[in-house]
């Protein structure tokens, strides 16, 4: 480092002096009166009470405040006269502590005020004991080196009105251009994905490294579907990113939409993970549209980020739970309106395609391909049995001949892949605790699961799970009588007693 440390003094003292500045009061008295008040303060300070810590804090933090960040900038300009100074008001966009090419160490003479913000325990399944302490710097200064330049970086969290603000100050002995280059580089690095998936949840974008690691475990060999079907899905995704020039030559927008639909438990999610593993392009995953500014703001955030990261994959799982009558028009406008969506491959999944409006699911240029993940036929169930045969071939306790695989594939009609997996897993769990026969137990598990499907409650529709059951006239009469008793009078006339259904506007039940 090239810096001398003679200019650096105790940072905490400097910041306390400027955190809250006294502003002249237009109602203040004469100079003699102010002098008398000062003498009174000096005398009272000589005999502090037993709550000295609280008294000191109250005296230092009860003044009328101006901008502490600007005052701190002025102090740094005086300390480092002739040096370049840049103040950053939103350090969130400049993660200097994570940037790997920036060498940092604390300034020896400055007081480092840091606090433990959180404790993150290791997952129990990792077998490790303990966890990680998340530390937050409230006040500190650092000597930094990047390329051939040296910098001083100061950080501080300070009160500003009713809230707290975080500030970052970068000082350089020379022209300001190296500071701007450093901030631009760090800001760009912070906006990139580094073995991460960008997840939108609760109104915010967050980088998720654990989800990225889960995607890396996915492989098409673990997806039990017919080869032709898997090849069609893979081609739709791979060819999209390869054929940008073809789209431009044909003068058509370089964007596509795919829908994976069908009953639950038939491979949509695992196929989605395998598809995401296939690409090196950024992945943006939408978990919810919940946003304090509303669904429209969430959609604007989502597509705005996708346009910035394009070419990319944008994933909307369970799209039928996100798109409704109220926000559908705005969604369609974002999907194929005037904005440029070049390079965005949108993949949506749903268990209930019938719940989506035709303007979403059946309009070309919005979702161009729909892939049905239906309950497996006998050939696919046989493929699934073959998959388990290979997994268990080295297990001496399990005898799994081809004849048993053929029998299970034939007898497991009406079962989804998820139910088939449950049959195999429950059989192996029972074998681990009891001395039982694999073949007989597996067949018994298949029969039991089929019986469970047959015993579904009569009001649950297997064909259209989204249908709403109408209440009987007796139920409605009893409900009307209860409401009348609670209200102490007659219920308003003109209410239909045909059906009770959810309200799209309030999320509550209402009479229609």
CATH of the domain at 354: 3.40.50.300
Write the pLDDT tens digit of every residue in 376-391.
999 999 999 999 999 9
pLDDT confidence band for 333 (50 / 70 / 90): confident
437 secondary structure, DSSP code: -
Length of the chain: 512
Q: Is residue 187 part of a domain?
A: no
Q: What is the pLDDT of residue 34?
A: 46
Residue of 499, 495, 489, 493 whose CA lies nearest to 468: 499
User: Mean per-residue pLDDT for 321-325?
Assistant: 86
Residues 204 and 190: beta-carbon distance below 8 Å: no
Which pairing describes strands 113-121 and 131-146: parallel, antiparallel, or unpaired?
Answer: antiparallel
Residues 298 and 230: beta-carbon distance below 8 Å: no
Q: Are residues 145 and 271 in the same domain?
A: no
pLDDT reading at 147 higher than 50: yes
Q: Is residue 460 part of a domain?
A: no
Helix (H) or strand (E) holding 200: strand 197-201
Q: What is the pLDDT of residue 368?
A: 83
User: Mean per-residue pLDDT for 113-118?
Assistant: 82
Residue of 89, 88, 73, 84 whose CA lies nearest to 176: 84
The chain-wide mean pLDDT, for the chain, equals: 79
Of residues 72 and 389, more confidently modeled: 389
Residues 238 and 232: beta-carbon distance below 8 Å: no
Give the residues across from 313 on adjacent strands: 283, 345
Which pairing describes strands 197-201 and 283-286: parallel, antiparallel, or unpaired?
Answer: parallel
CA–CA separation, 10 vs 57, rounded Å? 19
User: Both tokens of residue 333?
Assistant: 């406008």
Residues 443 and 411: beta-carbon distance below 8 Å: yes
**What dihedral do alpha carbons 72, 77, 79, 81 form, nearest 10°?**
180
CA–CA distances in Å: residue 461 to residues 96, 352, 420, 476: 56, 12, 22, 22
pLDDT confidence band for 484 (50 / 70 / 90): low
pLDDT confidence band for 335 (50 / 70 / 90): confident
Helices 438-454 and 402-411, packing angle to 10 deg: 10
Looking at 369-373, 443-447, 499-503, which range is the least confident one?
499-503
Q: What is the pLDDT of residue 382?
A: 94
User: Mean per-residue pLDDT for 402-419?
Assistant: 92
Give the residues across from 509 on adjacent strands: 502
Looking at 58-67, 258-267, 352-361, which range is the least confident one?
58-67
Q: Are residues 56 and 119 in the same domain?
A: yes
Q: Is residue 164 part of a domain?
A: yes
Q: Is the dihedral of CA 38, 43, 48, 49 positive or negative?
A: negative
Whole-angstrom Cα Rg for the chain: 33
Q: What is the pLDDT of residue 222?
A: 86
User: Mean per-residue pLDDT for 322-329?
Assistant: 86
393 secondary structure, DSSP code: T
User: Mean per-residue pLDDT for 400-425?
Assistant: 92
Q: Are residues 331 and 434 in the same domain?
A: no
Q: What is the pLDDT of residue 148?
A: 93
Q: What is the pLDDT of residue 51?
A: 47
pLDDT reading at 510 higher than 80: no
Q: Is residue 233 part of a domain?
A: yes
Q: Are residues 367 and 382 in the same domain?
A: no
pLDDT confidence band for 25 (50 / 70 / 90): very low
For residue 61, the number of C-alpha atoms closer than 13 Å in the C-beta half-sphere is: 12
pLDDT reading at 33 higher than 80: no
Of residues 220 and 29, more confidently modeled: 220
Q: Is residue 465 part of a domain?
A: no
Q: Are residues 225 and 345 in the same domain?
A: yes
Q: Are residues 69 and 138 in the same domain?
A: yes
Q: Are residues 164 and 266 in the same domain?
A: no
Helices in 355-416 by DSSP H: which ranges?
Answer: 358-361, 378-391, 402-411
Residue of 23, 15, 140, 24 whose CA lies nearest to 71: 15
Q: Are residues 159 and 304 in the same domain?
A: no
Q: Are residues 284 and 331 in the same domain?
A: yes
pLDDT confidence band for 509 (50 / 70 / 90): very low
Q: Is residue 244 part of a domain?
A: yes
pLDDT confidence band for 161 (50 / 70 / 90): confident
Last residue of a domain, one of 343, 372, 401: 372
Residues 63 and 41: beta-carbon distance below 8 Å: no
Q: What is the pLDDT of residue 151?
A: 96
pLDDT confidence band for 511 (50 / 70 / 90): very low
Last residue of a domain, one of 372, 387, 420: 372
Q: Helix-strand-coil percent breakdown of the chain, rounded to 5?
A: 45, 20, 40
Q: What is the pLDDT of residue 294?
A: 86
pLDDT reading at 405 higher than 50: yes
Looking at 43-57, 215-229, 299-313, 388-402, which range is the least confident one?
43-57
Q: Are residues 329 and 237 in the same domain?
A: yes
pLDDT confidence band for 483 (50 / 70 / 90): low
CA–CA distances in Å: residue 363 to residues 313, 335, 356, 487: 20, 11, 11, 48
CA–CA separation, 183 vs 53, rounded Å? 39
Domain containing residue 488: 473-511
Q: Name residue, tokens 């059906």.
A: 499
Last residue of a domain, one of 372, 402, 429: 372
Q: Is residue 61 part of a domain?
A: yes
pLDDT confidence band for 113 (50 / 70 / 90): confident
Of residues 240 and 117, more confidently modeled: 240
Percent over 70 (pLDDT), the chain:
75
Q: Are residues 63 and 153 in the same domain?
A: yes
CA–CA separation, 221 vs 383, rounded Å? 11
Q: Exposed (0-12), middle (13-18) or buried (19+): which is 306, by Cβ within 10 Å?
A: buried
CA–CA separation, 174 vs 153, rounded Å? 15
Q: Are residues 16 and 78 in the same domain?
A: yes
Q: Is the dihedral of CA 98, 103, 108, 109 positive or negative?
A: negative
Q: What is the pLDDT of residue 59?
A: 53
Model confidence, pTM: 0.69
Q: Is residue 30 part of a domain?
A: no
Strands in 369-372's sheet, in edge-to-edge order, are 204-208, 197-201, 283-286, 312-316, 344-350, 256-261, 369-372
Looking at 33-47, 209-223, 297-311, which range is the least confident one?
33-47
CA–CA separation, 382 vs 415, rounded Å? 12
pLDDT reading at 50 higher than 70: no
Residues 6+ apart with CB under 8 A from 59: none
Of residues 92 and 362, more confidently modeled: 92
Structural domains in the chain (count)? 4
pLDDT reading at 129 higher than 80: yes
């Amino acid at each position: 480092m090239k810096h001398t440390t003679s200019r650096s003094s105790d940072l905490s003292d400097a910041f306390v002096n400027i955190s809250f500045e006294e502003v002249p009061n237009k109602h203040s008295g004469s100079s003699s009166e102010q002098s008398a008040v000062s003498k009174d303060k000096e005398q009272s300070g000589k005999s502090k009470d037993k709550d000295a810590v609280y008294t000191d804090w109250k005296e230092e933090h009860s003044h009328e405040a101006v901008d502490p960040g600007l005052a701190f900038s002025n102090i740094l300009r005086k300390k480092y006269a002739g040096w370049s100074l840049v103040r950053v008001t939103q350090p969130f966009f400049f993660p200097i502590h994570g940037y790997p090419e920036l060498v940092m160490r604390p300034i020896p003479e400055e007081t480092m005020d840091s606090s433990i913000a959180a404790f993150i325990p290791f997952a129990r399944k990792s077998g490790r004991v303990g966890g990680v302490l998340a530390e937050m710097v409230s006040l500190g200064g650092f000597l930094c080196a990047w390329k051939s330049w040296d910098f001083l970086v100061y950080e501080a969290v300070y009160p500003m009105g009713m809230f707290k603000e975080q500030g970052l100050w970068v000082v350089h002995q020379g022209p300001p251009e190296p500071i701007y280059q450093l901030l631009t580089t760090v800001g760009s690095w912070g906006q990139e994905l580094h073995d991460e998936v960008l997840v939108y949840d609760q109104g915010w974008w967050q980088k998720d490294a654990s989800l990225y690691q889960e995607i890396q475990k996915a492989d098409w060999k673990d997806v039990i579907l017919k080869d032709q079907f898997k090849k069609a899905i893979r081609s739709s995704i791979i060819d999209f990113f390869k054929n940008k020039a073809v789209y431009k030559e044909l003068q058509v927008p370089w964007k596509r939409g795919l829908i994976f639909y069908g009953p639950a438990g038939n491979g949509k999610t695992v196929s989605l993970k395998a598809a995401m593993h296939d690409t090196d392009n950024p992945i943006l995953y939408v978990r919810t549209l919940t946003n304090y500014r509303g669904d429209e703001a969430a959609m604007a955030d989502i597509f705005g980020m996708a346009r910035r990261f394009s070419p990319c994959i944008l994933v909307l799982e369970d799209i039928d739970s996100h798109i409704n009558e109220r926000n559908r028009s705005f969604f369609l406008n974002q999907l194929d309106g005037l904005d440029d969506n070049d390079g965005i491959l949108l993949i949506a999944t749903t268990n209930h395609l019938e719940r989506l409006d035709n303007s979403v699911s059946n309009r070309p240029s919005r979702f161009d391909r729909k892939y049905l993940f239906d309950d497996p036929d006998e050939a696919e169930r046989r493929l699934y049995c073959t998959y388990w045969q290979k997994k268990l071939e080295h297990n001496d306790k399990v005898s799994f001949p081809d004849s048993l695989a053929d029998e299970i594939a034939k007898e497991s009609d009406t079962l989804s892949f998820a139910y088939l997996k449950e049959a195999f897993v429950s059989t192996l769990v029972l074998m681990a605790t009891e001395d039982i026969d694999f073949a007989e137990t597996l067949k018994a598990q298949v029969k039991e699961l089929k019986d469970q499907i047959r015993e579904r409650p009569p009001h649950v529709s297997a064909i259209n799970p989204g249908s709403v059951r109408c209440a009987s006239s007796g139920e409605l009469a009893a409900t009307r009588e209860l409401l009348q008793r609670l209200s102490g009078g007659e219920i308003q006339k003109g209410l239909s007693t045909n059906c009770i259904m959810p309200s799209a506007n309030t999320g509550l039940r209402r009479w229609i």
